[in-house]
Amino acid sequence: MSSNSFGKLFTVTTFGESHGPAIGCVIDGCPPGLSISAEEFKTDLERRATGRSRYTSQRHEADDVEILSGVYEGRTTGTPIALLIRNTDQRSKDYGDIVQTFRPGHADYTYWQKYGIRDPRGGGRSSARETTMRVAAAVIAKKWLAERYGVRVRGYLAQIGEITPDTFDWNAVEQNPFFWPDAAQVPALETYMNALRKSGDSVGARVNVVADGVPPGWGEPIYGKLDGDLASALMSINAVKGVEIGDGFAAVSQRGSQHRDEMSMDGFASNHAGGILGGISSGQPVTASIVLKPTSSILIPGHSVNLTGEPTEVVTKGRHDPCVGIRATPIAEAMMALVLIDHALRHRAQCGDVGTVEPLIPGQSGQ
């Protein structure tokens, strides 16, 4: 009912608030025998973390993962894996003013309407802090997908405000704090972000995510389509307001002769579909794109109402992200990986034998 769990066979439940003592997750259904150590969570958690550059919130968390269960002598046992990260750098006084009012454009208002009570410290459960545990759970998912199927999930920042990359190089993406694929543009982004920060405003962004090596067959029509589950998972990321699969909304002005991905014995000639046909992976790269809104916690005063229904003005103080999309790349990758591992296990359960006797297409495995 309360929807803090995600996935059918690889089920992740997250818990915790931004300024509570800790955040955590329980992963149920992880295949046994996967080697995993606390050390392996570090890279992706650091990629997602605040305070990694001056262009994100300056909250500094160690994000050290404690593995509480489900791992014995460095390998998953098939039992629930519980992961815990203690919060250490809360500054709840920043939220003193928010207790009595609502930031325009923030979940402050809808949480209050829904529950009649809320933890205003750091946005409580609505905080992007929660995405830490998605990224942690996905470290396990990514590793299993890579080892078992050779799947690699990676993403990049594809737009900030009006700025798009002039060139594209995967190698550039991990070399700058924006996950930007054009190294030559990074100084311009820094100038842009410095000016934005000074103005006290925020800006939106687009993140693209790609999974290579996904075999054909993952996804369950009709109500468990791979693209349907991906859209839901990506939309569940804080601040996401739009999701596209493959060409997405560009398809509106395309012709069928242009959009279809023609096939030959050498494979597909293009990938407008984003690797998914009829809700099932085609064996091509699975591609998705998300749009993150400009964050609502800004220094520019805005009109709002207080708890007694009177008009008031809100200025958000504290440590906020002027562009939350800057650190959304690892989160988008995480949600893609969590959907893929869930569907890999679901496909294996129902259709694991299909194509194992006779290949479905000569030269290709049905797995």
| Stretch of residues binding ligand EPS (CB under 6 A), selected from 128-136, 184-192, 285-293, 353-361 | 128-136
Should residue 322 be labelled a site residue for ligand EPS when binding is judged by CB under 6 A? no
Residue 12 · residue 335 · CB < 8 Å = no
Are the C-beta atoms of residues 136 and 85 closer than 8 Å to each other? Answer: yes
The pair of structure tokens assigned to 182 is: 């054009």
123 is an interface residue for ligand EPS by CB under 6 A: yes
Q: Interface with ligand EPS includes 297 (CB under 6 A)?
A: yes
Residues 252-281, one symbol each (x = binds ligand EPS by CB under 6 A, - = not), give ------------------------------
Q: Of 308, 86, 96, 351, whose CA–CA distance to 221 is shortest?
A: 351
Q: With beta carbons less than 8 A apart as the criterion, state whether 127 and 147 touch.
A: no
H/E stretch holding 347: helix 329-351
Question: Any contact of residue 219 with ligand EPS (CB under 6 A)?
Answer: no
Q: Which residues in 147-186 contact ligand EPS (CB under 6 A)?
A: none
Minimum separation from the CB atom of position 338 to ligand EPS (A):
18
304 Rama class: left (phi>0) / alpha (psi -120 to 50) / beta: beta
Binding mask 77-106 for ligand EPS (x = CB under 6 A): -------------x---x------------
CA dist., res. 278 & res. 94, Å (int): 48
CA distances (Å), 95 to each of 187, 240, 277, 301, in order? 33, 23, 46, 15
Q: Which of 319, 351, 355, 366 binds ligand EPS (CB under 6 A)?
A: 319
Least Å distance between CB 170 and ligand EPS? 25
Interface residue with ligand EPS, options 70, 122, 219, 275 (CB under 6 A): 122
Determine, following the binding rule CB under 6 A, whether residue 24 of this chain makes contact with ligand EPS.
Answer: no
**Piece of the chain touching ligand EPS by CB under 6 A; list 158-166, 264-272, 312-320, 357-365:** 312-320
Query: CA distances (Å), 265 to each of 140, 197, 269, in order?
Result: 35, 52, 10
330 touching ligand EPS, by CB under 6 A: no
59 binds ligand EPS (CB under 6 A): yes
Query: Using CA atoms, how far apart are residues 349 and 362, in angstroms rounded to an integer?
Result: 24
Work out the burial of residue 325: count CB atoms within 10 Å of its CB; fewer than 13 is exposed, 13-18 middle, 19 or more buried. buried
Question: What CA–CA distance (Å, rounded) separates 109 from 124?
Answer: 13
Under the binding rule (CB under 6 A), the answer on residue 50 touching ligand EPS is yes
Neighbours of 308 (CB within 10 A): 8
Q: Which part of the chain contacts ligand EPS (CB under 6 A), choosing from 76-84, 121-129, 140-148, 154-162?
A: 121-129
Residue in 7, 17, 57, 215 binding ligand EPS, rule: CB under 6 A: 57
Our finding on whether 202 is near ligand EPS (CB under 6 A) is: no
Minimum distance from CB of 38 to ligand EPS (Å)?
18
Say how far apart CA 157 and CA 178 lie, in whole Å: 7
Start-to-end Cα distance in the chain: 34
Is 128 a binding residue for ligand EPS by CB under 6 A? The answer is yes
Report, in Å, the least distance between residue 125 CB and ligand EPS: 10
Measuring CA to CA, which residue among 177, 166, 202, 120 is closest to residue 329? 177
Closest to ligand EPS by CB, 63 or 229: 63
Compare residues 9 and 62 and give the one whose CB is closer to ligand EPS: 62
Largest CA distance in the chain: 71
CB of 20 to ligand EPS, least distance (A): 11
Residues interacting with ligand EPS, by CB under 6 A?
Answer: 18, 50, 57, 59, 61, 90, 94, 122-123, 127-129, 132, 238, 297, 318-320
